[in-house]
Structure 1
Amino acid sequence: MKSLLALAAAVVAGCVLATVPAARADDPAPSSLQTWIDDTLPAPPVPEAPGEPEDGAGSALWRAVLPSPTGDSAFDAWPDGLAARRPGELIESRDVTAAAAALIGAPLARAVLLKFRSTSATGAPSFGTATLLVPAVAWTGPGARPVEVDTLPINALGRHCTPGYTIAHEVRTNHDINVFLPGVAATLNKGHAALLPDHEGPWMSYAEPLVAGRTTLDSIRAVRAVFPDEFGDSRFAATGYSGGSIAAYATTMLLPEYAPELDGVLVGAAIGGLVTDYAAVAHVFNGRSASGILLSVSLALSREHPEMLRYMNNLAQWAATSPLRDICGDADGPLGAVGIPIDVAATVDHPLESDIADRIVRLMDLTDRRAATPLYIYHGANDFWIPIQGPRDLYARQCALGVPAQFRTVPGEHVTAMLNGNAGAVDWIDARLRGEPAPDECPVLR
Structure 2
Amino acid sequence: MLLVFCAGLGAGTGSSAAQSAALPPVPLPSADPFYTPDGPIADLAPGTVIKSRTMTYGSLELATPLTSTQVLYRTTDQAGGPSATVATILRPLVPGPPRLISYHMAYDALGSECDPSYTLTGNGAPGRAAIAEQGVIGGYLAAGYTVVVPDYEGPDLEWTIGRQSGYAALDGVRATIDHVGLPASTPVGLAGYSGGSVPTQWGAEVAPSYAPELNIVGAAAGGLPVNIAHNLPYVSGSATWAGVIPALVVAYQRAYGIDTDSFLSDYGRQLVETVSSQCINAFAADYPGLTDAQMVRLPYTSLLDIPAVVSAIGDNVMGTTGTPRVPMLLAVGNLDGIGDSVMVTADVAGLAHEYCTRGVAVTYAQYDRLGHSEAFVPFQAQTAQFLTDRFAGLAPTSNCQGS
User: Shorter-chain TM-score: what band?
Assistant: 0.7 to 0.9
Within 5 A, what are the aligned runs for 1:253-268? 253-262=205-214, 265-268=215-218
More helix by share: 1
Match of 2:381 among 423, 426, 442: 423
Matched, 1:320 2:272: yes
1:384 is displaced (CA, Å) by 3.1
Match of 1:275, as an amino acid?
P
CA distance in 2, matches of 1:78, 1:430: 37
CA distance in 2, matches of 1:92, 1:342: 45
The 8 Å contact of residues 264 and 296 in structure 2, kept in 1 or not, is answered as: yes
Question: What TM-score do you get using the length of structure 2 for normalisation?
Answer: 0.84
- Alpha carbons of structure 1 residues 348 and 372: separation in structure 2 relative to 1, 3 Å: farther
The 8 Å contact of residues 293 and 336 in structure 1, kept in 2 or not, is answered as: no
Match of 1:94, as an amino acid?
R
- Give me the identity figure in percent: 22
Matched, 1:184 2:134: no
Tell me the SS of whatever aligns to 2:153.
coil
Within 5 A, what are the aligned runs for 1:71-86? 71-75=31-35, 77-86=36-45
- Alpha carbons of structure 1 residues 347 and 313: separation in structure 2 relative to 1, 3 Å: farther
Within 5 A, what are the aligned runs for 1:72-111? 72-75=32-35, 77-96=36-55, 98-100=56-58, 108=66, 110-111=67-68
Match of 2:345, as an amino acid?
I
Within 5 A, what are the aligned runs for 1:326-341? 326-341=277-292
Residue of structure 1 in register with 2:221 after alignment: 271
Residue of structure 2 in register with 1:365 after alignment: 317
Residue of structure 2 in register with 1:407 after alignment: 364
Root-mean-square deviation (CA), in Å? 2.4
CA distance in 2, matches of 1:297, 1:430: 35
Tell me the SS of whatever aligns to 2:87.
strand
Match of 1:283, as an amino acid?
P
Tell me the SS of whatever aligns to 1:261.
coil
Match of 1:197, as an amino acid?
P
The 8 Å contact of residues 114 and 124 in structure 2, kept in 1 or not, is answered as: no
Match of 1:381, as an amino acid?
N
Tell me the SS of whatever aligns to 2:30.
coil
CA distance in 2, matches of 1:193, 1:268: 16
- Alpha carbons of structure 1 residues 380 and 292: separation in structure 2 relative to 1, 3 Å: same
Residue of structure 1 in register with 2:231 after alignment: 281
Residue of structure 2 in register with 1:292 after alignment: 243
1:106 is displaced (CA, Å) by 8.9
CA distance in 2, matches of 1:231, 1:312: 52
The 8 Å contact of residues 227 and 316 in structure 2, kept in 1 or not, is answered as: no
Match of 1:414, as an amino acid?
H
The 8 Å contact of residues 102 and 191 in structure 2, kept in 1 or not, is answered as: yes
Tell me the SS of whatever aligns to 2:332.
strand
Matched, 1:156 2:94: no
Residue of structure 1 in register with 2:123 after alignment: 171
Residues 55-106 of structure 1, C-alpha deviation per residue, up to 9 Å, x if partnerless? Answer: xxxxxxxxxxxxx96321223x25421212111111101111x334897999
CA distance in 1, matches of 2:68, 2:347: 37
Tell me the SS of whatever aligns to 1:296.
helix
Tell me the SS of whatever aligns to 2:400.
coil
Residue of structure 1 in register with 2:146 after alignment: 193
CA distance in 2, matches of 1:393, 1:161: 31
Match of 1:434, as an amino acid?
A
The 8 Å contact of residues 263 and 300 in structure 2, kept in 1 or not, is answered as: no
Tell me the SS of whatever aligns to 2:50.
strand
The 8 Å contact of residues 59 and 123 in structure 2, kept in 1 or not, is answered as: no
Within 5 A, what are the aligned runs for 1:93-242? 93-96=52-55, 98-100=56-58, 108=66, 110-139=67-96, 144-168=97-121, 170-171=122-123, 173-175=125-127, 176-228=129-181, 230-242=182-194
1:418 is displaced (CA, Å) by 1.4
The 8 Å contact of residues 332 and 365 in structure 2, kept in 1 or not, is answered as: yes
- Alpha carbons of structure 1 residues 347 and 151: separation in structure 2 relative to 1, 3 Å: farther
CA distance in 1, matches of 2:270, 2:247: 15
Matched, 1:354 2:305: yes
Of structures 1 and 2, the one with the larger relative CO (CA 8 A, separation 6+) is 1
1:153 is displaced (CA, Å) by 0.4
Tell me the SS of whatever aligns to 1:99.
strand
The 8 Å contact of residues 229 and 304 in structure 2, kept in 1 or not, is answered as: no
CA distance in 1, matches of 2:293, 2:74: 36
Tell me the SS of whatever aligns to 2:374.
helix
Match of 2:152, as an amino acid?
H
Match of 2:31, as an amino acid?
G
The 8 Å contact of residues 311 and 347 in structure 1, kept in 2 or not, is answered as: no
Aligned length: 366
CA distance in 2, matches of 1:346, 1:256: 43
Residues 171-220 of structure 1, C-alpha deviation per residue, up to 9 Å, x if partnerless? Answer: 16322523321111111000011111111111011111122111101101
Residue of structure 2 in register with 1:31 after alignment: none
In structure 1, the gaps of 5 or more residues are: 1-67
Tell me the SS of whatever aligns to 1:250.
helix
More strand by share: 2
Tell me the SS of whatever aligns to 1:195.
strand
- Alpha carbons of structure 1 residues 157 and 440: separation in structure 2 relative to 1, 3 Å: same
